[in-house]
């Protein structure tokens, strides 16, 4: 009888562990009513985030949930400690303004935090708006912290997955965009352009090198002073300080990966 009890106990613990792990992978931890609970969503994200950060990583982030008119905060301490609390926090470095619906969509993987926060310019609207603490300078170290938090706190899939498609994107710089991976000195994004849409305008230049990798469709690109036809299976280098305008006249979308790198890219 004792052996049977031990076996049942071990089996129960195994199933609970299995359910917790794969529940996080498939975003299936909550019922429909629980998915709108900000605290439950943030705690699930926090639990997943612990295994992704370095031993020395520490940060405090405040969430302001506009539709509920309430604040929450995330405290990340050295030693992989992540805690969630309700209310504002005076030592927060980053302030994130969003809604319950946006947070739920991010949790379900239907939009990434980077996509929700993306802007072509500072005055643009974003479903996930970000502000720094008043006395905080946006140094490379602070930027790296923000990238780490945005890319890894919100993504609860294991391994991390980003869904690519127009339905998961937002229009940034004139094209349907999904930012992929950012770190100081490197950026990448997925783009989709439809007929009549244009990525950038003449005169939109950057002081760092870039590349376009076309993976679907065909269209046109103006790189520097030259206009060329582009199609899937081709990649083009964009020198620093060069025009880079992309568009398509086709009824089928033009899809490509954008890369940028260099010391000028903080």
Cβ atoms 128, 62 nearer than 8 A: no
Task: Return mean pLDDT, the chain.
Answer: 88
Note whether residue 191 is domain-resident: yes
Q: Verify that 80 and 171 share a domain, yes or no.
A: no
Band of the pLDDT at 30, cuts 50, 70, 90?
A: low
Q: Verify that 176 and 143 share a domain, yes or no.
A: no
Domain that holds residue 124: 31-152
Q: Verify that 134 and 209 share a domain, yes or no.
A: no
Separation in Å, CA 79 to CA 51, 71, 239? 10, 25, 42
Band of the pLDDT at 109, cuts 50, 70, 90?
A: very high
Note whether residue 56 is domain-resident: yes
Note whether residue 17 is domain-resident: no
The tally of domains found in the chain comes to 2
Rounded CA-CA distance 261/266 in Å is 9
pLDDT attached to residue 28: 47
Band of the pLDDT at 36, cuts 50, 70, 90?
A: low
Q: Verify that 187 and 240 share a domain, yes or no.
A: yes
Note whether residue 21 is domain-resident: no
Q: Verify that 68 and 94 share a domain, yes or no.
A: yes
Please give the distance of CA 35 from its chain centroid, rounded to a whole number. 20
Q: Verify that 144 and 51 share a domain, yes or no.
A: yes
Q: Verify that 221 and 253 share a domain, yes or no.
A: yes
Rounded CA-CA distance 112/167 in Å is 12
Q: Verify that 143 and 35 share a domain, yes or no.
A: yes
Q: Verify that 146 and 171 share a domain, yes or no.
A: no
Q: Verify that 133 and 58 share a domain, yes or no.
A: yes
E strands within the chain?
59-65, 70-77, 81-86, 94-98, 129-132, 170-172, 175-183, 186-193, 198-199, 210-216, 218-223, 226-231, 234-238, 244-247, 254-261
Q: Verify that 129 and 172 share a domain, yes or no.
A: no
Rounded CA-CA distance 204/102 in Å is 30
Q: Verify that 69 and 133 share a domain, yes or no.
A: yes
- pTM of the entire predicted model: 0.85
Is 27's pLDDT higher than 70? no
Note whether residue 97 is domain-resident: yes
Digit-coded pLDDT (tens) for 61-80: 999 999 999 999 999 999 99
Reported for 11-16, long-range contacts at CB under 8 A and 24+ positions apart, including other chains, are none
CATH number of domain containing 50:
3.30.1050.10
Interval 158-187 mean pLDDT: 96
pLDDT attached to residue 35: 54
Note whether residue 22 is domain-resident: no
Interval 110-115 mean pLDDT: 98
Band of the pLDDT at 94, cuts 50, 70, 90?
A: very high
Note whether residue 220 is domain-resident: yes
Note whether residue 11 is domain-resident: no
Is 123's pLDDT higher than 80? yes
Rounded CA-CA distance 160/142 in Å is 23
Pick the last residue of a domain from 152, 178, 213.
152
pLDDT, greater one: 5 or 82: 82
CATH number of domain containing 194:
2.60.120.10
Pick the last residue of a domain from 129, 152, 175.
152
């Amino acid at each position: 009888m004792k052996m049977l009890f031990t076996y049942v106990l071990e089996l129960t613990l195994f199933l609970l562990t299995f359910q917790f792990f794969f529940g996080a992978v498939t975003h299936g931890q909550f019922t429909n009513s629980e998915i709108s609970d900000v605290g439950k969503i943030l705690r699930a994200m926090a639990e997943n985030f612990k295994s992704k950060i370095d031993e020395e990583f520490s940060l405090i982030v405040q969430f302001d949930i506009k539709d509920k008119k309430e604040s929450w905060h995330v405290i990340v301490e050295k030693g992989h400690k992540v805690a969630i609390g309700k209310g504002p926090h005076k030592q927060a470095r980053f302030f994130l303004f969003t809604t319950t619906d946006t947070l739920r969509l991010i949790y379900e993987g239907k939009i990434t935090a980077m996509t929700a926060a993306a802007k072509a310019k500072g005055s643009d609207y974003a479903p996930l708006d970000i502000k720094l603490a008043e006395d905080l300078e946006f140094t490379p170290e602070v930027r790296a912290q923000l990238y780490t938090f945005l890319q890894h706190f919100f993504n609860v899939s294991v391994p991390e997955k980003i869904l690519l498609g127009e339905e998961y994107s937002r229009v940034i710089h004139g094209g349907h965009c999904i930012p992929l991976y950012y770190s100081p000195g490197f950026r990448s994004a997925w783009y989709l352009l439809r007929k009549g849409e244009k990525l950038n305008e003449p005169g939109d230049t950057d002081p760092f090198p870039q590349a376009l990798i076309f993976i679907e469709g065909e269209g046109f690109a103006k790189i520097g002073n030259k206009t060329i036809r582009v199609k899937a299976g081709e990649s083009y280098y964009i020198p620093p300080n060069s025009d880079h305008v992309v568009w398509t006249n086709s009824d089928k979308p033009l899809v490509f990966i954008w890369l940028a790198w260099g010391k000028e890219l903080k």
